[in-house]
Amino acid sequence: MTFGKAGEKAARKRLLQTGYKILTDNYIAGAGELDIVAFKRGVLIFAEVKTRSGDRYGTPAEAVGEKKIACLRSAASAFIREQCKNGRVRVFYPFGISLKRRYKRTRNDIIEVYADRKTLRISKINHIKDAF
pLDDT digits (tens, 9 = 90+) for 100-129: 999 999 999 999 999 999 999 999 999 999
Ramachandran sector of residue 41 (left: φ over 0; alpha: ψ -120 to 50; beta: rest): left
Query: Which residue ranges make up each domain of the chain?
Result: 3-128
Confidence of residue 1 (pLDDT cuts 50, 70, 90): confident
pLDDT digits (tens, 9 = 90+) for 51-104: 999 999 999 999 999 999 999 999 999 999 999 999 999 999 888 899 999 999
Quick one: fold of 3-128? Trna Endonuclease; Chain: A, domain 1 (3.40.1350)
Q: What is this structure's pTM? A: 0.93
Ramachandran sector of residue 63 (left: φ over 0; alpha: ψ -120 to 50; beta: rest): alpha
Instruction: Indicate the average pLDDT of the chain.
Output: 95
What is the percent of the chain where pLDDT is above 90? 90
What is the percent of the chain where pLDDT is above 70? 100
